[in-house]
Amino acid sequence: MTPKQLAAIHAECFTLPRPWSAEEFTDLLKSRNIFQCNLPAGFALGRVAGPEAELLTLAVLPAEQGQGIGRQLVRQFEGEAIRRGASEAFLEVAVQNDAAIYLYRSEGYRDAGMRKDYYDGPKGSKLSCLVLRKELAPE
């Protein structure tokens, strides 16, 4: 997917925290450590640095949510992270995002911490996020 396509899907999925722009995706994708996992209705963007992988964002079009696409993307992200040498994965998720938290925990991610007031919310408010972690093992 192009940065413009990524931004369009991201904009349909995120209001809190704010969606990322095509320019932000363009800048991220310039890094050799960044990788995409794509399906027609969504994508995951990851980064590997040494033994650690980070799921930067995952977005599935709202009309396609609840059909296992997010789960497929998490698994693709993990497979690519392992292929690139990662042995553990981290992610951050807004504490209000119950569906995403359920997905990640059902895929074996466990609480590693909390970032209080991490994201900018509406009208100057702040939103906290969970930091989740999972050991990755080659199959």
Q: Which residue has the tokens 């093992």?
A: 137
- Spatial separation of the C-alpha atoms in residues 70 and 59, rounded to whole Å: 7
Backbone angles phi, psi at 114, to 5 degrees: -140, 140
Identify whether 102 is a catalytic site residue.
no
Of these residues, 52, 54, 102, 104, which one is catalytic?
104
Of residues 54, 78, 92, 109, which has the active-site annotation?
A: 92
Cα–Cα distance, 93 to 2 (Å, whole number): 24
Q: Is 119 a catalytic residue?
A: no
Query: Catalytic positions, please?
Result: 92, 104
